[in-house]
Amino acid sequence: MYSRLPSTYELLEALAAAPAPAPVPASVSAAGVTPWAQRLGRGLWLGFVVTLVATLLAATGLAVWRLVLKHPLAPWSVRLAEALLVLCAACYAGAGLMRLPRVLAIVRNPLRWQAGQMDLDSAIENALLRRLGRIPPLQLQARQRRVALQIRLWEGMARTVGLLLALAPAALVLVSGLHPLPHQAGMKGTLLWLYAVMVVVGGAFCLYVHVQCSRPLRRLSHVLGEAAEINARVGAQVGAQVGARRAQPAPSSQPAAAQ
């Protein structure tokens, strides 16, 4: 239990900490979700990330070598880039196959998966609520207001960036209509590709901000609000009990008068 209100990052880490893993049932093991399969899936996913980075670096090097330096490409360099791309796709497909039993289980019974996630989140949040039991409610409410401000700032920035990325190609089309650009006739396909890339990048950025920033901060704000309310009610009950005890008359220590 905390004796003082910790930093916001420490509270976020407490919310992100996973509880001790439960033993895997036999039915789940029979479905193919075994520890070795999980390790293999993580290894394939790590291989996908590594090969993807290598493929991007190789493609960038080939583009610079051919388009900027104006040198002919060696056949082995093109084959190497193709091999990296094939290996990247194979690792991605393998990682997807390793996760297929879990995905199928979620699709077959989504409510069960959602209920399990809710129970897991509730267990983590209840543990944090117990650790915040000694913090004064005013401090919790002040921290909750600051967290809510950060949520509004992050979400506003994500909406602004997404809107700018989505409107940038449209602004270019408007400018080209007012002032004709060179090679304007051959820019239609380029503008379509640019618009698609901008929309995808904007959507990915908004999703990243929601998952990595907005969602944890919203959970923390909810927990801080609950902790402040619980501590205030407990403090009021304790104060009422103490006041009732003080209001009771003290028992007389003198013996009763003889009749």
pLDDT confidence bin for 177, thresholds 50/70/90: low
Residue 101 pLDDT > 60: yes
CB–CB of 221/144 below 8 Å?
yes
CB atoms within 10 A of CB 73: 12
Q: What is the pLDDT of residue 28?
A: 42
Residue 15 pLDDT > 70: yes
Angle in degrees, CA 101, 106, 108, rounded to 5 = 90
Distance between CA atoms of 8 and 216, rounded to whole angstroms?
11
Contacts of 87 (CB under 8 A, 6+ apart): 47, 51
Residues 236 and 116 in one domain: yes
State the burial class of residue 182 (Cβ atoms within 10 Å of its Cβ: 0-12, 13-18, 19+).
exposed
Q: Give me the mean pLDDT over the 216-238 stretch.
A: 93
Provide the residue range defining the domain that includes 160: 110-241
pLDDT confidence bin for 93, thresholds 50/70/90: very high
Angle in degrees, CA 97, 102, 104, rounded to 5 = 85
Q: What single letter denotes the amino acid at residue 64?
A: V
Residues 220 and 118 in one domain: yes
Residues 133 and 193 in one domain: yes
Residues 52 and 140 in one domain: no
Q: Is residue 62 part of a domain?
A: yes
Residue 20 pLDDT > 60: no
Give the SS3 label for residue 112.
helix
Residues 76 and 135 in one domain: no
Distance between CA atoms of 244 and 115, rounded to whole angstroms?
43
Q: What is the pLDDT of residue 253?
A: 57
Mean pLDDT, all residues of the chain: 83
Residue 24 pLDDT > 80: no
CB–CB of 1/130 below 8 Å?
yes
Distance between CA atoms of 16 and 8, rounded to whole angstroms?
12
Residues 64 and 165 in one domain: no
The total domain count for the chain is 2
Q: What is the pLDDT of residue 240?
A: 85
Residues 120 and 203 in one domain: yes
